[in-house]
Amino acid sequence: MEYTTILYEKSEGIGTITLNRPKSMNALNSTLLSELGRVFLTEIAKDDEVKVVIVTGSDKFFAAGADITEIANLAAPTDAYKFLQDADIFRKLEDFDKPIIAVIRGLALGGGCELAMACDLRIAAENAVFGQPEIRIGVIPGGGGTQRLPRLIGVTKAKELLYTGDNIDAQEAYRLGLVNKIVPVESAMDEARKMASKIARQPGVALRATKLSVNGGMSMDMRSAMAYEARCFEILFSTEDQKEGMKAFVEKRKPEFKDR
């Protein structure tokens, strides 16, 4: 498939999506959001060779936010509603059944921060900057910022950032639990590929079950979540990989998973 605002490649079980609107600092417009949806839902979802996805930008900016030149022209709530239908790709990424790693170098503001938070794991370069500055232009985050940020860093700190529109650097993001690790800018992609390769070696069905169990359980009470986890656990006993994994453990050898 051809894309105009993103680049996509795959290698050794890893799909890599690079946001590619350099002149606008990867600002998220309708086209980019639509192409994200297309690459995930019509290409990667159907490709069994891809087990893990990396989403990244350039060395200086992941995504500087939504494209204000586009959304400033939204004249009514119905127009804003239509724009948010494209931003619904963030929810679809969160529910996507393959692990997604965001590699954040430079700015991840507004919609860029929301995109990063919709991914499963976040590797921040030392120059990464995070923030939800929407309040400064008279709106609130519309792609999950008021919902995912409190769940990731806690309600009190999230409210501070949302109310003030202040940014935080990579060190503060790590301290708050927003990112998994901080690495030098020049090694960020290598670190992501190393992590992705480790994940890609795991049995695919169990990977999907793990993500389903975590995401599904987060919206349930503990009793219901434990029951949901149990069902996910039980289903895996119908897979070849479960039998191979346990047999290999008993035989003290490396398992040969087939993702089925």
Give pLDDT tens digits for 150-172.
999 999 999 999 999 999 999 99
> Cα 182–183–186 angle (5° rounding)?
150
Using pLDDT thresholds of 50, 70 and 90, give the confidence band for residue 260.
Answer: confident
Order of all β-strands in the sheet with 129-131: 61-63, 107-109, 129-131, 167-169
Catalytic-role residue among 35, 49, 94, 114? 114
- Please confirm, yes or no, whether 114 is among the known catalytic residues: yes
In which band, very low, low, confident or very high, does the pLDDT at 86 lie, cut at 50, 70 and 90?
A: low
Quick check: helix, strand or coil at residue 64? coil
What per-residue confidence (pLDDT) applies to 79? 74
Asked if CATH classification 3.40.50.1860 holds for the domain at 6-200, the reply, yes or no, is no
pLDDT at 32: 94
Whether the per-residue pLDDT at 76 is higher than 90: the answer is no
Q: Average pLDDT for residues 126-140, to the nearest whole number?
A: 95
Q: What's the N-to-C CA distance of the chain in angstroms?
A: 27
Q: What is the mean pLDDT of the chain?
A: 93
In tens, the pLDDT along 99-119 reads 999 999 999 999 999 999 999
Known catalytic membership, residue 160: no
pLDDT above 90 (res 67): no
Share of the chain above pLDDT 70, in %: 99
Q: How confident is the model at residue 87 (pLDDT cuts 50, 70, 90)?
A: low
Least confident span in 1-5, 68-72, 90-94: 68-72
Range(s) for CATH 3.90.226.10 in the chain? 6-200
- 11-49 pLDDT, tens digit each: 999 999 999 999 999 999 999 999 999 999 999 999 999
The pLDDT score that the predictor gives to residue 75 is: 64
| pLDDT at position 190 | 96
CATH 1.10.12.10 fits 204-250, yes or no: yes
Q: Which pLDDT score is estimated for 88?
A: 83
Give me the catalytic one of 134, 186, 240, 244. Answer: 134
User: What is the CA 107 to chain-centroid distance, rounded?
Assistant: 16
**What sign does the dihedral 167-170-173-179 (CA atoms) show?**
positive
Domain with CATH 1.10.12.10 in the chain: 204-250
pLDDT of 205 higher than 70: yes
